[in-house]
Structure formats: structure tokens, C-alpha cells
A = this chain, B = another copy of it.
Amino acid sequence: MADEPKHIVSSFESDLKKLHDMIAMMGGLVERAVADGSSALLDHDPDLAARVIEHDPKINAEQHNVELFAVRLLALRQPVADDLRQVIQALKVVTDLERIGDLAANIAKRSIVINQVASSFSLSSLGQMATLVQQNLKSCIDSVGEANPQKAVAVWRADQAVDDLYNAIFRELITYMMEDARNITACTHLLFIAKNLERIGDHTTNIAELTYYAVTGESLPDFRPKGDNTAAYMPSNAG
């Protein structure tokens, strides 16, 4: 680096800054989608749900813009070492952000159906889960913008609480279905919504891992204290 003319280094830095700004912008759209998708469900607001679905292509378009910019940056600046790593990580972060946007749109779609079906049970645990997922996502996107590895580690750890809530909600929903067959349709959609929130949590920890690696050059351990235990769930009263 010391051998390179100063203006080339500065140009790369300003390009990298632009890349991070683009990701922060896309992150803002994704945060909004998750917040609005959750509100559409919890506040029974089908109009808001429709807007989340309608706005999803904007998020996909942002991903495409970031990718074009990153690939041009690779071609023109031909970065190596740390700089190369940061560009590659940026490409991966936007893949996770785009998937989070898809999951938020799917929550919005399902909320429309759930609001049409009478349900006699509380959505409070799901509301708690949605709040936690949003808090983590916000901290995570901040950690990208601030290149803050400590914040990334905190996000990575905080996902455990999301997984715990998911496991509890899964059990709760199965119980409601067993109690009354009229709950089955709503609960099936709620199961997928809870799973979507859990997956948003996983993509958020992915981004946290990518950020930690981009900033420090070191990987977080493969083993994260996690996860979704429901794949092995069998209630004692199963037939």
C-alpha cells in the first residue's frame, strides 16, 4: 500500500465508503420491510401488508445495484488482501439482506390470510419474537456501517434468545392446533411466520459473522450457541 500513489488509495477508500453507504441504504429498506411486515400481522393491517409486498422489488433492485458497483470496483481497482476481503463480504451481506426482504414479504402475505381467519389465541410471543429480531437486525446493520466487530459479536450472541422464543412458539402453536381444528389454517401460517422470523435471525447472524470477518480478518467460531430445536420436536401426546 505504501508504494501506491496516495490518490489511488483514497479513491478506493471513497469507493468502499460508497459501497458501505449503499449497503446501509439497502439495510434501511430491509429493516422497514421487517418492521412493517410484523406490524401488518400484529396490528391486523392488510394495507400495510400490501405495501410491504409491493416494495420488495425495490430491495432486489438495490441488491443488483450494490453487486454491479462491487464488481466494477473489483475490475477497476483490483483490490487485494483486506480490501478484496471487504468487497467480497459486501457481496455476501447483500445476499443475506435480500433474503431477509423476501422473508418479510412472505410474512406480510401470510398476515393477510391470518387476518381473514378468526383466531382465539394471543400473538404476544410472536410479537416479542418480532421485536427481538428487529432489534438485532438494526444493531447488525449499524455494525456494518460502523465497521464495529464488538457490536457484530453482540448480535451474533443475541440470536439465542430468538431461537428460544421460536422453539416455545412452535410448541404453543401445535397445542392450539390440537385443541381446535378450526385453528389449523391460522396456526400453519403462524408456524411459517415464526420460522421466517427465525430465519431472519439466522441471516442477521450471518451478516454479523461477515462483518466481524471483514473488519478483523478472523472468523467467529463455527459453533454458535444456537438453534432451532423444533426439527426434532415430538409432543408426548402425539398419536
Q: Which residues of B contact A160 (CB under 8 A)?
A: none
Interface of A is mostly: helix
Partner of A181, one of B117, B178, B192, B234: B178
Q: Which residues of B contact A235 (CB under 8 A)?
A: 185
Partner of A174, one of B60, B74, B78, B188: B188
Q: How many residues of A sit at the interface, in one of the four size bands?
A: 35 or more
Closest 3 CB pairs of A and B: A182-B239, A109-B231, A78-B78
B80–A84 CB distance below 8 A: no
- What is A's interface to B at a CB cutoff of 8 Å? 60, 71, 74-75, 78, 80-81, 84-85, 88, 91-92, 95, 106, 109-110, 112-113, 116-118, 174, 177-178, 180-186, 188-189, 191-192, 195, 222, 231-235, 238-239
Complex Cα distance, B92 from A71, in Å, reads 13
Given A74-B88, A91-B92, A110-B231, 19 additional A-B pairs, CB 8 A: A71-B84, A71-B85, A71-B88, A78-B78, A91-B91, A109-B231, A110-B232, A113-B234, A116-B234, A117-B239, A174-B184, A177-B177, A178-B181, A181-B239, A183-B239, A185-B234, A185-B235, A191-B191, A192-B195
Complex Cα distance, B137 from A201, in Å, reads 27
Q: Which residues of B contact A80 (CB under 8 A)?
A: 75
Complex Cα distance, B191 from A109, in Å, reads 18
Complex Cα distance, B149 from A84, in Å, reads 29
A181–B177 CB distance below 8 A: yes
Task: Return the chain B residue nearest A120 by Cβ.
Answer: B239
Closest approach, in angstroms, between the C-beta of A238 and any C-beta of chain B? 4
Complex Cα distance, B182 from A216, in Å, reads 51
